[in-house]
Structure formats: structure tokens, C-alpha cells
């Protein structure tokens, strides 16, 4: 069994001009790529196996990330099936000097653990043994779109 808090990570990228469009804001494709990388790290930490992206829910860009900002990706596993891992991802625009954050986008991704033969393999049970873990899981489940 793996506890939710053991999967929680925050990754940061400095928003550089090579990530930006002509408006000097970060391309949405770069943001989604960073989300997928952070989500895969979380899924692999949970499963102890390689993981592949199976699905991502809708991604609404609430506010842009500007060149010079930090893109902070907050990610954790909030549910698991037999071979699948559900990850909540939130992206913040962060001022690198002050640490002030604003939500830029969020989504829910599903990964599948695979073995050396690249076939789906079982994952451990997710446990939630702390108040903070329960809060994170409840927030994910409350905001999760229909998983149809």
C-alpha cells in the first residue's frame, strides 16, 4: 500500500522565451507537456512501475503564464484501479520573487502501469492516513469531472 502523501510532488519550470508565443505567454502545449511529465512521475512513484498516459480530462486555461513567471505543477494520486492511476494536476503561475501564486489551469489524468513487456500490470492500493491526505483526496474527488 502507498499513501497519498507519498505521491504528492510540486515541479517548477521557469517560463522562458522559447516556451512562449508571440504574446510572450507560454504555449498551452508546453503546459500540457509539463503536466503530463509531472503526472507520470507521480504515477510511477505510486506504482513502482513504468506508466503510460491513458486519458486526460478537459484542460481549461484560466490565466496565462508569462515569460519570467514560474510554472508550478502540483500533482498527486487520488485514486487507483487494478492497473490504472488517477492523478490530479494543478498548474499555478508563480512569481519567482515573491512566491505569489494564481491558478492557471488544472486537469485529471489517468495513467496505466505497465511491466517490462509493456502490458498492464497491477498497482498497489492507495491509502490515506493523514488529515492533509484526506483533504487532498476530497478536493480531487469533488472537482473530478465525470470519468465516463
pLDDT tens-place values along the chain, 148 residues long: 899 999 999 999 999 999 999 999 999 999 999 999 999 999 999 999 999 999 999 999 999 999 999 999 999 999 999 999 999 999 999 999 999 999 999 999 999 999 999 999 999 999 999 999 999 999 999 988 765 4
How would you label 16-50 residue by residue, b for 16+ Cβ within 10 Å and e otherwise? Answer: eeebbeeeebbeeebbbebbbebbbbbbbbbbebb
As a whole number of angstroms, the distance between CA 22 and CA 36 comes to: 24
> For residue 143, what pLDDT is reported?
86
Q: Which structural domain range is residue 104 located in?
A: 2-143
Contacts of residue 92, defined as CB under 8 A and 6 or more positions apart, other chains included, come to: 71, 72, 74, 101, 102, 103, 104
How many domains in the chain? Answer: 1
> For residue 144, what pLDDT is reported?
82
CATH of the domain at 68: 3.10.129.10
Joined grid coordinates for residue 18: 522559447
- pTM for this prediction: 0.92
Paired with 39 in beta bridges are: none
> For residue 148, what pLDDT is reported?
41
Picking from 113, 145, 136, 140, the residue whose alpha carbon sits closest to that of residue 6 is 136
101-114 and 50-56 strand pairing: antiparallel
123, 83 contact by CB (below 8 A): yes
Q: What three-state secondary structure class fits 86?
A: strand
Amino acid at each position: 500500500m502507498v499513501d497519498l502523501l507519498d505521491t504528492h510532488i510540486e515541479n517548477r519550470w521557469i517560463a522562458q522565451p522559447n516556451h512562449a508565443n508571440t504574446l510572450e505567454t507560454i504555449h498551452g502545449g508546453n503546459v500540457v507537456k509539463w503536466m503530463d511529465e509531472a503526472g507520470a512521475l507521480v504515477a510511477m512513484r505510486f506504482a513502482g512501475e513504468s506508466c503510460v498516459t491513458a486519458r486526460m480530462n478537459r484542460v481549461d486555461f484560466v490565466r496565462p503564464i508569462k515569460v519570467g513567471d514560474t510554472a508550478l505543477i502540483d500533482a498527486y494520486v487520488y485514486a487507483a484501479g487494478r492497473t490504472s492511476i488517477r492523478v490530479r494536476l494543478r498548474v499555478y503561475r508563480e512569481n519567482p520573487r515573491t512566491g505569489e501564486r494564481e491558478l492557471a489551469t488544472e486537469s485529471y489524468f489517468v495513467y496505466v502501469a505497465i511491466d517490462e513487456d509493456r502490458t498492464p500490470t497491477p498497482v498497489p492500493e492507495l491509502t490515506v492516513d493523514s488529515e492533509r491526505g484526506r483533504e487532498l483526496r476530497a478536493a480531487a474527488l469533488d472537482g473530478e469531472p465525470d470519468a465516463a
